[in-house]
Amino acid sequence: MTSSLPQSMMHAPPAQFLGGHWVEGDRDMPVSNPATGAVIAAVADASPDTARSALDAAVAAQDAWAASDPRHRSEVLMNAFALLCDRSEHIARTITLEMGKPFDEALGEVGYGAEFLRWFAEEAVRGRGEYFRAPVGNQRIVVTRQPVGPALAITPWNFPLAMVTRKIAPALAAGCTVVLKPAPQTPLTALEFMRILEDAGLPAGVVNCVTTSDAAGMSKALLADPRLRKLTFTGSTAVGRHLLASAAGQVLRVSMELGGNAPFVVLESADLDKAVHGAVTAKLRNAGQTCVAANRFLVHESLAGEFTERLAGEFAALPVGDGMIESNRIGPLIDAAAVRRVTALADEALAHGAQICSPGPAFEGPGYFVRPTVLTGVSPGTRLWREEIFGPLAPIRTFTTTREALELADDTEAGLVGYVFGENLGDTMDFAERLQTGMVGVNTGMVSDPAAPFGGIKASGIGREGGTTGIEEYLEQKYLAVAL
């Protein structure tokens, strides 16, 4: 598969989608292809004043959108779902060119992202409320749901479509308007999705998209505005903590999907075929650049030798290169800084006694690539073990007892996801239930599903996205005491 779009330069609309109109910017922001380092487009680089204009449009549209029929909101989302499916190859090419993941993975992201539109189109028309007699007295208790109000959605670069639909779809279903700020590395996909919403019949001002390199200036301006009532963010824990502190000033409703440090545990009863396959899936999707990527591999000592050998063989067999070339299975990291950081993590671990059991991370040629690499003997004090890697490195340690494995797995401030493999169902489920994470993959390396509540505990976030609870993040409960 090769792109029908020139990789030297892509057409991009004026970057600011405000109040249903495409608005030219005063300055440009380049967008690069991480597989080559070449600039492929330039989009407008918004100022905080533009962000305030976006909020003006969202506020102006809020009352009418909140009062619209749930069926109408559902139909708009279903229209967007159909259009996204029709344009899937074009959107996937856009994702690959600006983010780097292989085209087949990008197609998978489009399908995954589209399902949030369909899921929340169905959730939009589900009645939510309660009516019952008060325990004492002649009153009735009525509990209704109302939209929270205008929301700011800040999305990351690693899933430039799916993270947008995962936030916008429930907001629209609930009756909330949105200001979207996509990552500066990957604005093109978000802008293409604005075209889809426009063609789907979304009223002007309900969703507004602002692309900017000044994330701090934009968030500061909007989070200080009392008209904003909701913040939803996916990104690093460090940035999330800062945004939480800023959101406290206006006591905003917040949803935070933050960093992970996922343990991947192979119990003594594990089926190694399943475990190795699951490890490749959990580690190397998006070249390891996912918050749910397996980060720390804990393998029972009786299985460690064979598991390591087989995993290293799988890693070595995966072609690395430009995601628009069909045979390549591992794409680039997002930029040169990411390569330097991941390489530094490997170098530090090697300096403290770790060993490489597959081809090393170095990659010759243009672009920002790191080869998938298995490392053993990794010290628990190194950053490779303690920090979120966000790259294709797989550090392995062994354990003797299940209790030891659980203590090692939980020894982190993160609590987003974990993985556990074992054929003794009782022991495996017990381990999964005791693991301190918001999600667990049991004998699978894939946990993401629009029908399931996605989110973490501890420093990995607040709230859930997807599932039946996803829409609740955009709804307030109102209690009516009715005297009869």
Answer yes or no: are the C-beta atoms of 412 and 387 closer than 8 Å: no
Instruction: Report H helices in 291-382.
Output: 304-316, 336-351
- In one-letter notation, the amino acid at residue 311 is L
d(CA 243, CA 237): 10
Give the helix/strand (H/E) hosting 282.
helix 272-284
Using CB atoms within 10 Å of the CB of residue 19, give its burial: 0 to 12 exposed, 13 to 18 middle, 19+ buried: middle
Q: Do you know the residue count of the chain?
A: 484
Q: What is the DSSP letter of 205?
A: T
Distances (CA, A) of 301 to 304, 376, 396: 5, 12, 11
Active site residue 209: no
Catalytically annotated residue among 115, 123, 257, 268: 257
Residue 351, C-beta contacts closer than 8 angstroms, at least 6 positions apart = none
CA pseudo-torsion sign 186, 189, 195, 198: negative
Nearest to 267 by CA among 379, 94, 433, 401: 401
Catalytically annotated residue among 176, 209, 291, 357: 291
Answer yes or no: are the C-beta atoms of 80 and 207 closer than 8 Å: no
Active site residue 473: no
Answer yes or no: are the C-beta atoms of 144 and 478 closer than 8 Å: yes
Residue 265, C-beta contacts closer than 8 angstroms, at least 6 positions apart = 298, 299, 405, 409, 418, 419, 420, 421, 431
Answer yes or no: are the C-beta atoms of 74 and 63 closer than 8 Å: no
Using CB atoms within 10 Å of the CB of residue 129, give its burial: 0 to 12 exposed, 13 to 18 middle, 19+ buried: exposed
What's the CA angle centered on 225, arms 221 and 231, to 5 degrees?
A: 85
Nearest to 166 by CA among 448, 433, 396: 448
Residue 438, C-beta contacts closer than 8 angstroms, at least 6 positions apart = 415, 416, 417, 455, 456, 457, 460, 461, 464
DSSP string, 147-201: E---EEEE--SSSTTHHHHHHHHHHHHHT--EEEE--TT-HHHHHHHHHHHHHTT
Q: What is the DSSP letter of 416?
A: S
Q: Active-site residues: which are they?
A: 257, 291
